[in-house]
Amino acid sequence: MTTKQLETAYRIACERYAEHGVNVEAAIKKLTTVAISIHCWQGDDVRGFENSGTSVGDGLAVTGNYPGRARTPDELRADFEQAIALIPGTHRFNLHASYAETGGRRVDRDALGAEHFKNWIAWAKSRKIGLDLNPTYFSHPKVVGGLTLTSPDKAIRRFWIEHGIRCREIGATIGKALGKTCLTNLWIPDGMKDTPSDRRAPRERLVESLDAIFAPKIDRRHNLDSVEPKLFGIGAESYTAGSHEFYLAYAVSRGTLLTLDAGHYHPTECISDKISSVLTFLPEIALHVSRGVRWDSDHVVTLTDSLQAIAQEIVWGGYLGRTHIGLDYFDASINRVAAWVIGTRNMLKALLLALTAPIARLKQAELTGDYTTRLALMEEMKTLPFGAVWDHYCHRMGVPVGAAWLAEVQGYEKRVLSLRG
C-alpha cells in the first residue's frame, strides 16, 4: 500500500467515525500516551539468568521448544529492541528478579541489590523506556513444598520476606534513576494440591509476611507496590493462599495496588467487570493481560472479545491514568519476538478500538433508557473502518503497516535467532 492510499483510506475512515461523533485524531493522541509494560519473560521462557538449569515449575509451565530463546541479558535486550521497533509507541520492560546480572557470581535472592540491575537501568535509560519489577517466588530451592511467604518454617518465610524487601528497594532505585515510577508486583505460588485441613493459618502467615515486606517506607514516586491474586495453579488446584478476596482486602486495607491477571479466575469469569469495582475503592490497579485457553495457560494475547472488554472498561471508565497495563504470557512454541509483537499490537488495537467508540452517544442512550440505540450502535461500531485507522497510526509512528512486521521478524530469526543453536 502506498502512503497516498493509506492517507486516503484514513481520511475516509475519519469521516465515517465523525458521523458517530468520534474524533479519531483525539483518540490517537490519547493512545500515544499509553505505555504498555511488556513482560521480559516471553523472551526466554521464564528462565532468567541464575543458570539454575531448571525450567520454571512452582505453578508455572511453559510449553514448546521453538529455537532461538534468549540465553543472556544481551540477547534478551537485543530481541526486545527488535520487538519494540515493530510496535507503535513508547513502552516499558517488565523484569523479574531472576533476571538480575550478577556477573557469574552466585547471589541469592535475599541478597540482590540495585547493582545487579545496573545494566538494565543503563539500557532502559538509553532507550528512554521505563522498567517494572517482580520479585521471583518460583524456580528456587527455597520454594519448599510449593510454599514461600506462607511456609510454616520461619526461616523460609524470612528468606522470602527479605527477597520482597530487596525487590522494593531495587524498584525504587530503578524508578529514581529512570525518572519513571517502577511497579513492583508480587505474586507467590503458595497453595495446596489437595484439600487443606487449615486454610486459615497460611493466610494469617501471609498477611504477616506481606506486612513485613511492605513495612519499609519507600517513596511512591519511585516505586509502587502491587499484589497479584490467583485462583489456582498447577500443583495448587485445591487451595491458593493469595486468592482474589485475600489480596483485594489486603490492597484496600494496606493501600497497595492490586494486579488483575486475566488468567487467574474461573474460565468464564472476566477481569473486565472487576476493573470498575476495584477502582471504586483503590486509586490505581495493575493488569496482567493474558489469554487463558481452558485454564491459566498464558497464550499470546489476541484481539478477542474479552481483550476488547478490558480495553473498553479502562477507556470508557476514564481509568487510563489509573491502570498500569502489563502483559503476561509465555509461548515457547512460536517465534518469541513475534509473540511480543502480536500481543502488544493487539493490546494497542483493543485500546484504539475503545478510544474510537462512539462512547458519548452510547452513554447518552443508556442514561435515557434507550437500550435499543445502545445495542444498535455497539453493533455498528464493529464494522467501522478501524483497519484504516490502525494502519495509519502504525505508519505515522514509524512502524511497519499491516503484516509487514512479520518479514522483519523472519529476517531477524534468520540472521540472529537461528544461530543460537
Q: SS3 of 117, please? A: helix
Q: What is the DSSP string of 56-96?
A: -BTTB------S----SHHHHHHHHHHHHTTSSS--EEEEE
Select from ligand RNT, Zn ion, none the partner in contact with residue 46, using the beta carbon and a kind-dependent cut-off of 5 to 8 Å.
Answer: ligand RNT
| Interface region with Zn ion, contact rule CB under 5 A, candidates 75-83, 284-292, 352-360, 375-383 | 284-292
Shortest distance in whole angstroms from residue 314 CB to Zn ion: 17
- Alpha-carbon gap, residue 58 to 137, rounded angstroms: 8
Is the Cα dihedral 285, 291, 294, 295 positive or negative? negative
Shortest distance in whole angstroms from residue 33 CB to ligand RNT: 25
Select from Zn ion, ligand RNT, none the partner in contact with residue 44, using the beta carbon and a kind-dependent cut-off of 5 to 8 Å.
Answer: none
Cα 382 to chain centroid, rounded = 26
* Position 284 contacts Zn ion (CB under 5 A): no
264 catalytic per annotation: yes
395 catalytic per annotation: no
Number of residues that bind Zn ion (CB under 5 A): 3
Long-range contacts of 17-23 (CB under 8 A, 24+ apart): 17/356, 17/384, 17/389, 20/358, 20/361, 20/377, 20/380, 20/381, 20/384, 21/358, 21/360, 21/361, 22/356, 22/357, 22/358
193 catalytic per annotation: no
Nearer to ligand RNT, 295 or 371 (CB): 295
Shortest distance in whole angstroms from residue 18 CB to ligand RNT: 41
Among residues 187, 340, 390, 405, which one is catalytic? 187
257 Cβ neighbours under 8 A, 6+ residues apart: 183, 224, 225, 226, 227, 251, 282, 284, 285, 286, 324
Select from ligand RNT, Zn ion, none the partner in contact with residue 173, using the beta carbon and a kind-dependent cut-off of 5 to 8 Å.
Answer: none
391 catalytic per annotation: no
Among residues 284, 328, 331, 408, which one is catalytic? 328
Residue 261 contacts residue 189 (beta carbons within 8 Å): no
> Residue 35: in which H helix or E strand, if any?
none
Shortest distance in whole angstroms from residue 230 CB to Zn ion: 8
Nearer to ligand RNT, 166 or 288 (CB): 288
- The residues of the shown chain that bind ligand RNT, judged by CB under 6 A, are 41, 46, 60, 134, 187, 228, 230, 261, 288, 296, 328
Q: Which residues from 323-382 bind Zn ion, rule CB under 5 A?
A: 328
For strand 285-289 and strand 257-261, is the pairing parallel, antiparallel, or unpaired? parallel
Q: SS3 of 295, please? A: strand
261 catalytic per annotation: yes
328 catalytic per annotation: yes
Shortest distance in whole angstroms from residue 328 CB to Zn ion: 4
Select from ligand RNT, Zn ion, none the partner in contact with residue 230, using the beta carbon and a kind-dependent cut-off of 5 to 8 Å.
Answer: ligand RNT
211 catalytic per annotation: no
Nearer to Zn ion, 58 or 261 (CB): 261
| Interface region with Zn ion, contact rule CB under 5 A, candidates 113-121, 142-150, 213-221, 287-295 | 287-295
Nearest to 157 by CA among 116, 85, 211: 211
Among residues 140, 163, 288, 392, which one is catalytic? 288
* Position 298 contacts Zn ion (CB under 5 A): no
Residue 200 half-sphere exposure toward CB, CA atoms < 13 A: 0
228 catalytic per annotation: yes
Among residues 45, 169, 225, 261, which one is catalytic? 261
Cα 358 to chain centroid, rounded = 27
Among residues 264, 274, 299, 392, which one is catalytic? 264
Select from Zn ion, ligand RNT, none the partner in contact with residue 41, using the beta carbon and a kind-dependent cut-off of 5 to 8 Å.
Answer: ligand RNT
Given 39, 91, 288, 345, the residue binding Zn ion (CB under 5 A):
288
Shortest distance in whole angstroms from residue 39 CB to ligand RNT: 7
- Alpha-carbon gap, residue 17 to 391, rounded angstroms: 15
Residue 12 contacts residue 350 (beta carbons within 8 Å): no
Shortest distance in whole angstroms from residue 8 CB to Zn ion: 42
108 catalytic per annotation: no
Other Cβ atoms less than 10 A from the Cβ of 385: the count is 16
Among residues 44, 45, 225, 228, which one is catalytic? 228
Given 45, 79, 169, 261, the residue binding Zn ion (CB under 5 A):
261
185, three cell numbers: 508486583
* Position 132 contacts Zn ion (CB under 5 A): no
Provide φ and ψ at 282, rounded to 5°: -115, 140
Shortest distance in whole angstroms from residue 392 CB to ligand RNT: 34
- Alpha-carbon gap, residue 23 to 15, rounded angstroms: 9
* Position 392 contacts Zn ion (CB under 5 A): no
Residue 257 β-bridge partners: 226
Q: Which positions are catalytic?
A: 187, 228, 230, 261, 264, 288, 296, 298, 328
Residues near Zn ion (CB under 5 A) are 261, 288, 328
